[in-house]
Copies of this chain bind each other. A is one copy, B any other.
């Protein structure tokens, strides 16, 4: 004879994919990617895991939705009217800052390549390349190189964030790495030795932008702009 289980009162505020994604983003932002489980999420929403699965196919689906959310906000916020080269740099920095603020987005972007967020990023860079005078045949490679740079930095940033999640001091952390690099055989790793000293004090954001500028320089060098008077 089954005992009637006392049921918790039904929630008044309806569950929805939006609310679930929102809660997931909160958890990811405040407690890190490791903290998001269907149990913590259910607790946060005061429900059970089964209810969540009614709105969301699985964890990948949830993470994809959360990532798209963040990226879509960035793409909407980036001002578009400026000159093409500036627009590309602004877009790149906007993406960097968003990923820096939400490291888990970096993990997602470098894990799920055909996310709905990707064409948005592609469009953002690619459409502005025309203004730089890049011929159509060269646009695909140029755009993909820019996108790869963003995704590459995103992945590395997220991995870093995972590593010094508990530490307070970023410089000290990089100092430890630099020390490891400095202990490698100087005969075989002369360059690494020279660079190790710059490691603790270098600025990820500036280095990211320097990369974007190098790529833009390469694009312009490969596709010399048509002179304005021809």
Enumerate chain A interface residues (CB-CB to B < 8 A): 110-114, 119, 122-123, 126-127, 129-130, 136, 139-145, 148-149, 151-153, 155-156, 159-160, 163, 177, 180-181, 184, 188-192, 194-195, 198, 202, 207, 210-211, 213-222
Contact = CB atoms under 8 A, between A and B. Distances in A.
26 contacts: A110-B152, A110-B155, A110-B159, A113-B156, A113-B160, A114-B177, A119-B181, A119-B189, A122-B191, A139-B194, A140-B198, A144-B211, A145-B149, A145-B211, A145-B214, A145-B215, A148-B152, A148-B153, A149-B149, A151-B155, A214-B218, A216-B218, A217-B222, A218-B219, A218-B221, A220-B221
A221 B211 contact: no
B114 A144 contact: no
Contacts of A192: 119, 122-123, 126
A221 B222 CA distance: 10
Contact of A152 (B149, B194, B214, B218): B149
Contacts of A221: 217-218, 220-221
A221 to B, nearest CB: 4
Nearest to A121: B192
A211 B143 CA distance: 9
Given A119-B184, A122-B192, A123-B191, A210 B155 contact: no
A143 B127 CA distance: 28
Nearest to A156: B113
A119 B193 CA distance: 10
A126 B222 CA distance: 23
A144 B143 CA distance: 19
B127 A159 contact: no
A73 to B, nearest CB: 16
Contact of A163 (B114, B127, B151, B213): B114
A177 to B, nearest CB: 5
A213 B16 CA distance: 47
A125 to B, nearest CB: 8
